[in-house]
Amino acid sequence: MGNKQTIFTDEQLDAYQVSLFSFSRLHGRYHELAPHLVPMDYTNEPDCKLPLALIVNMPELKENPFRNRIVESFSEDGMGNLSFNEFVDMFSVLSEMAPRELKAIYAFKIYDFNVDNYLCKEDLEKTLNKLTKEELTPEEVELVCEKTIEEADLDGDHKLSFADFENMISRAPDFLR
């Protein structure tokens, strides 16, 4: 039993459809972020959430320019506080085994900074600036965003809906990560 072992019942593992090994490793990582907050024993479904600041410092996410958006889009309250279920959800979508459609859905959510279900020009500008660490001049940023909307917008409203996005991303040769 011990204090250092995560405890899940077989039913819980079964529902998540994972092996105990990988699941307890995942929970170990979650626990590491805030040892005093996260209990080891999950059989009774405790209700604890970790704040954005802690999660964004994980080594897998630290270098990612979109880390804040990633965590926010998986949290229920939209502020970036993740419970363990949401944590598992996030990593399962980010893993290589997630289906492509699922990744497309979450990618759209991540790039949608103002959460209005459309990728408008401001969203694109923010994305680009995060990608290039603001090395491009404003004219160049303008040009790129214009070109992007021109390429992918099918219904002519000068912003990208999810259908536009999915249409474009499904043809991308290396969209797997």
Partner 1 sequence: MSTAGEQDAGLSLQEEHESKTHRTKRRDGDRQKKKRRNERRKGGTRAGEGEEDLQAVSEKRERSKRKRAKSKQETSRRENNEEEEAQLTGGKGTKARKDIRNEKTRRMEKEEVREVEENVDKGKKKQGSTKKGEKKEDGGKQLVKGKAREVKKKKHKKTSEEDDDEEEDNDKDVVRLECLSPEELEKLKEAVDERKKLIQSLRGKPWAMKKKLVTLRESQEFVEKYEGALGKGKGRKLYAYKVLMTKKWMKFQRDFENFKTACIPWEMKIKEIESHFGSSVASYFLFLRWMYGINMILFGLTFGLVMVPEALMGRPYGSMPRKTVPRAEEASAMDFAVLWDFGGYAQYSVLFYGYYNNQRTVGWLKFRMPLSYFLVGVGTVAYSYMVVIRTMARNANESGVGDDNSFNFSWKMFTSWDYLIGNAETADNKFASITTSFKEAILEEQESHKDDNIHLTRFLRVLANFLVLCCLAGSGYLIYFVVRRSQKFALDGLENHTWWERNEVNMVMSLLGMFCPMLFDVISTLENYHPRVALQWQLGRIFALFLGNLYTFIIALMDEINLKRKEEKIVKFNITTWEASLYNGTVSENSTASPVTIHPADVPRGPCWETMVGQEFVRLIISDTMTTYITLLIGDFLRAVLVRFLNYCWCWDLEAGFPSYSEFDVSGNVLGLIFNQGMIWMGSFYAPCLPALNVIRLHVSMYLQCWAVMCCNVPQERVFKASGSNNFYMAMLLVILFLSTLPAIYTIVSIPPSFDCGPFSGKNRMFDVIHETLESDFPPWFSKVFSYASNPGLVLPFILLMVLAIYYLQSTSKSYREANVELKKKLQMVISVLFFL
Residues near partner 1, by CB under 8 A: 1, 7, 9-12, 14-15, 17-19, 21-22, 41, 43-46, 59-60, 62-66, 76, 85-86, 88-89, 92, 94, 98-99, 101-102, 105-107, 111, 124, 127-128, 131-133, 135-136, 140, 143-144, 147-148, 151-152, 154-156, 163, 165, 167-169, 171-175, 177
CB 70 within 8 A of CB 64: yes
Residue whose CB is less far from partner 1, 115 or 163: 163
**Min CB(128)–partner 1 separation in Å:** 6
Token output for 54: 């802690």
**Min CB(53)–partner 1 separation in Å:** 19
* Residues in CB range of 12: below 8 A, 6 or more apart: 42, 43
**Min CB(80)–partner 1 separation in Å:** 15
**Min CB(51)–partner 1 separation in Å:** 18
The H or E element containing residue 83 is strand 82-83
DSSP per-residue letters across 87-121: HHHHHHHHSTTS-HHHHHHHHHHHH-TT-SSSB-H
CA–CA dist 84, 97 (Å, integer): 20
Burial grade of 128 (CB within 10 A; 0-12, 13-18, 19 or more): middle
Residue whose CB is less far from partner 1, 18 or 34: 18
Residue whose CB is less far from partner 1, 9 or 117: 9
